[in-house]
Amino acid sequence: MWFDILKINVKNIADAKRMTQDYLPEELYNDMLISEKEYQALSDKDKLRLHYKLYNFLTKRAKENLPPKLKEKIPFHRKMQGRLEKKSGFYTSMQPNEASMKERRGRPTNKGG
């Protein structure tokens, strides 16, 4: 049984969640994501809350066991937080893409591209 392999005594749901954060951070991170369409429908306050949640997950509990692919997303979520906190009007997105990574010059817009 997997309990014997991992040598972990899972007593309750909190233990199981903690184990998931330690051993399966990518799956847990992906479960926190929403579609781009759902993301764009959120208020700026909810977008900010979501980026905080993802950033905190990536930098706190799971940091030691993160695959490089997830470590690369840390600066992205921090950048989106900054844009939303400053109400800069720059485009924000759920995942890194060409429009969200662009630093626009001139008048900012949240239309992307």
Tell me whether residue 2 is exposed, middle or buried, using C-beta atoms within 10 angstroms of its C-beta: 0 to 12, 13 to 18, 19 or more: exposed
User: Residue type at 39?
Assistant: Y
Sign of CA dihedral 81, 18, 70, 95: negative
Is residue 106 in some structural domain? no
- The answer as to whether 50 is a domain residue is yes
48 found inside a domain: yes
Range of the structural domain that residue 55 is part of: 12-101
59 is a domain residue: yes
Number of domains comprising the chain: 1
3-state secondary structure of 107: coil
- Residue 110: its pLDDT value, please? 54
Q: Is residue 109 part of a domain?
A: no
Q: Is residue 3 part of a domain?
A: no
At 36-79, the pLDDT tens digits run 999 999 999 999 999 999 999 888 865 666 788 888 899 999 99
Q: What does 59-85 look like in DSSP terms, one character per residue?
A: HTTTGGG--HHHHTHHHHHHHHHHHHH
> Considering the entire predicted model, what is its pTM?
0.71
